[in-house]
Structure 1
Amino acid sequence: MNLPGAYRQRVADGLLKEDPAQFEALEILEDLCSRSQAGENRLGGLGRLLGRRSNEPGGGLYLWGGVGRGKSMLMDLFYEHLPVRRKKRTHFLEFMQSVHTDLHRIRKREVTDAILPAADAIANKASHLCLDEMQIDDIADAMIVGRLFKRLFERNVTVVTTSNRPPDELYRHGLNRHLFFPFIKLISNRMTVHEIGGGDDHRRGRLADRQTYFVPADRAAQKGIDGIWDQLTQGRMGSLVLTVKSRRVELQSFANGAARVDFSNICGMPYGPADYLAIAGAVRVLVVENVPLMCRANHNEAKRFVMLIDALYDSGVMVVMSAAAVPEELHQGGGGAFEFERTSSRLAEMQSSEWGAVLE
């Protein structure tokens, strides 16, 4: 079954709502699939085994559009039906963190230009890269991504990436942005740039008119959250690993821009504002389960919970939560009760159907 056929089947099964803009993007992805299949056939089994590529230049698709327009879903559908063996799908931030790790290791060997062997290692493992949620805020990423992608394209790697921004708005207010311009030009020259315009935020649509804050955090709450999670992820499952100031921050359940964690694993860990900002920048929906009552006994966890909600609020992230009490009754007094009033107010606001409309 080709990509349009698979998409129509999901619509027929009630898993998706048909969207003409999504279907237009899907036709571009189907063309990529067909060309990839032709390349595999020309190489033959021995060529695939040896990791050889055709002589066609690398390129791909830069798919951008508003939050919740289905970009990640379309890329996942493409990845599932991509008829090649050497392929990789990952979050862009996770990809860049792994690149920095490789560069650090390679530089220990006193290599003149570490980008080349790092890119070659990627190309040897994957002829097709699917990178979700491209965003470039870090100068360290901005200064290497252009040369990295240039080398990948020279090695005939096909890249499909999603983003909320068009290429010329990447790293918009970054330091030394003029050094980043060659990467923008590279995207325009080597990749098809396509916008999924207009339409609804399908991720929000899946949560519309649904309960997203469950009290108490019991078996019924877990069942309700399981239903929401299945709708958000459509059965997919992965993980997201972030590196923040050399620290590892892992979200073990992550798919389609949504992450699911237990309170103890996100507020019981020694995380700080930078960690929560990184999480908020990497997800569009965060499911937090088993939020307890806040009191003197868990004062540190309560402080981290405040930092987490602040980061999610400022980033316009949707929140699904199971808790021991409604927001205004979560804090039982003691240290931090006054500061928690803002958190309670924000939690209540984040449950409204209008939440995030202005931010988007």
Structure 2
Amino acid sequence: MSVVSELKSRIAAGELASDQSQLDAAKQLDELLLLLSSRSIEFRNFRLRPTFMKGLYLWGGVGRGKSMLMDWFFDMAVVREKKRVHFHSFMLLVHSRINHWRKFGKGDPIKPVAEEIARESKLLCFDEFHVTDITDAMILSRLFEVLWRKDIVVVATSNRAPEELYKNGLNRSLFLPFIPMMHAHLKIYEFGGDTDHRLRQLQAAPVYYSPLGSKSEAAIDEAWQRLTGAARGHETILRIQGRNLVISQTAAGTARTTFNYLCARALGAADYLKLSHAFQTLILENVPKLGAHNRNEAKRFVTLIDTLYETKTKLIISAEVEPHDLYNKGDGAFEFERTSSRLMEMRSAEYLSQRRVLTEGQG
């Protein structure tokens, strides 16, 4: 099995549209699969130091299929110690280990932390590689210098070219040495064209399913399959004001979770904003009928929808009733009318085709 054969199989089945940029990227990933397989055999049989191998940096507009292809590559890679992670979650792990080292160790923590990561994973696949935090920008060169010296192979997806990363960021001069390092250790592949395959998949079927039941569950499962290329999904950790928000099922720029998880807990606008910046699409399941009996949950739901709407994040939802019936009686019903209207608009082709609105520096 290869990434190219998987892609061609999906195209033949009518699940995906043919795209030369995807095919070319798949060929690059297959070349790396072969090199990884050869390295594994050489290292196992002769215990030689692995030969230098460039990883891949896949970048281009949203919905181009970057994450889907990388997920297939990751599953096919004949590497025992491998890790596939959202880049934001990876950097949270790095900072956590740095803080732990500073408490219990001596000297500069970057090198020992990087060496620890290198012992755990010989292949690192990063989704959504973007840099917005100065604390990340300041350590990337030193961190990856060690990882690449340890012959760790890196594959990453991003919406930005290397030269555009951390653009206009504070003290960007501290980050700039990382860019030539990327070019030295990664093949840079740009997805040409502007076809948004995610948009095509979103427009191919409804995005609001009601009532709840086996049919809506099956429809949500099918939507996940379409948007992620049938990816298994992985956990992503988002750090917000010292707290972690763990999304257990994510892939290809899509997060899947439930109403109870996002709205029945003490979450707020900062959490929802972080979520909307991390993912292009949110699949939200099992939204109940709302009213005075669950007013707090309803308020959080309003905040969530407002945030998704303002950032133009796409929403696929399963709910007990249609938007105009979600909260149509009792105290708070009048205030909910705007949310009902926005839910209706978020189903439209016009909304789905809009470009996302993110803060400066978001990838």
Q: Same fold (TM over 0.5)?
A: yes
Distance 1:37 1:226, change over 3 A: closer
Amino acid at match of 2:212: A
How many residue pairs get aligned? The number is 355
Q: CA deviation at 1:110?
A: 3.5
Q: 2:248 — aligned with what?
A: 252
SS at match of 1:355: helix
Q: Is 1:266 aligned with 2:267?
A: no
1:341 corresponds to which residue?
Answer: 337
More moved, 148-157 vs 337-346? 337-346
Contact 1:303 1:336 (8 Å CA) reproduced = no
Structure 2 distance, partners of 1:187, 1:20, is 25
Query: Which residue does 1:330 correspond to in 2?
Result: 326
Distance 1:254 1:2 in 2: 23
Q: Which residue of 1 aligns with 2:151?
A: 156
1:44-72 Cα distance to aligned partner (Å, 9 max, x none) = 2574xxxx85142x541111111110001
- Indicate which of 284, 287, 295 corresponds to 2:291: 295
List alignment gaps of at least 5 residues for structure 1. Answer: none
Equivalent pair of 1:116/1:151 in contact (CA under 8 Å): yes
Counterpart in 2 of 1:188? Answer: 183
Identity %: 42
The Cα shift of 1:204 comes to 2.0
Structure 2 gap segments, 5+ residues each: 357-363
Once residues 112 and 123 of structure 2 are traced to their aligned partners in structure 1, the CA distance between those partners, rounded to angstroms, is 18
State the superposition RMSD in angstroms. Answer: 2.1
CA contact (8 A) 1:293 1:332 kept: no
1:26 is aligned to 26
- Residue matched to 2:138: 143
User: 1 CA distance for matches of 2:333 and 2:24?
Assistant: 51
Deviations 1:26-60 (A, max 9, x none): 1221222222222222212574xxxx85142x541
Whole-angstrom CA distance in 2 between matches of 1:290 and 1:59: 44
Instruction: Give the deviation of 1:338 after TM superposition.
Output: 4.9
CA distance in 1, matches of 2:331, 2:349: 32
**Structure-2 separation of matches of 1:278 and 1:45:** 46
For the Cα contact (< 8 Å) 1:64–1:195, is it kept in 2? Answer: yes
Moved more, 201-210 or 130-139: 201-210
Distance 1:257 1:219 in 2: 26
- Deviates most, 62-71 or 337-346: 337-346
| Contact 1:287–1:320 (Cα < 8 Å) also in 2 | yes
- TM-score normalised per structure 2: 0.90
2:281–2:314 contact (8 Å) kept in structure 1: yes
**Which amino acid in the other structure matches residue 11 of structure 1?**
I
* Change in CA separation of 1:24 and 1:185 when aligned onto 2, cut-off 3 Å: same
Q: Which amino acid letter does the alignment assign opposite residue 9 of structure 2?
A: Q
Q: Which residue of 2 aligns with 1:76?
A: 71
Moved more, 305-314 or 325-334: 325-334
Residues 206 and 232, structure 1, Cα contact 8 Å, conserved in 2:
yes
Are the counterparts in 1 of residues 125 and 156 from structure 2 also a CA contact under 8 Å?
Answer: yes
The CA distance in 2 between the partners of 1:209 and 1:158, in whole Å, is 37
Return the letter of the residue paired with 2:197: H
1:60 and 2:55 are equivalent in the alignment: yes
Structure 1 residue 352: Cα displacement: 0.9
